[in-house]
A = this chain, B = another copy of it.
Amino acid sequence: MAKLYFRYSAMNAGKSTTLLQIAYNYEEQGQRVMLFTAAIDDRSGAGCIASRLGLQRQASVFDDRTDFLELLASETSLACVLIDESQFLSTRQVRQLHQLANVHNLPVICFGIRSDFQGKAFPGSAELLTLAEDIEEIKTICGCGRKATMNIRIDEYGQRVHAGAQVVIGGNNRYQQVCARCFYQGEA
Contacts and interface: CB of A to CB of B under 8 A. Distances in A.
Interface string A145-160: 1110100000000000
A99 B48 CA distance: 37
Contacts of A1: 146, 179, 181
B184 A103 contact: yes
Contact of A25 (B103, B141, B181, B184): B141
Nearest to A119: B131
Interface stretch (A38-46, A49-57, A164-172): A49-57
A60 interface: no
Interface string A97-128: 01101110000000000110001110001110
B17 A21 contact: yes
A182 to B, nearest CB: 9
Nearest to A143: B29
Contact of A135 (B69, B120, B135): B135
Nearest to A69: B188
A13 interface: yes
A173 interface: no
Contacts of A187: 99, 103
A145 B78 CA distance: 11
Contacts of A121: 126-127, 129-130
A133 interface: yes
Contact of A126 (B17, B29, B130, B146): B130
A114 B102 contact: no
A66 interface: no
Contacts of A142: 29
A115 B99 contact: no
Contacts of A130: 114-115, 119-121, 125-126, 129
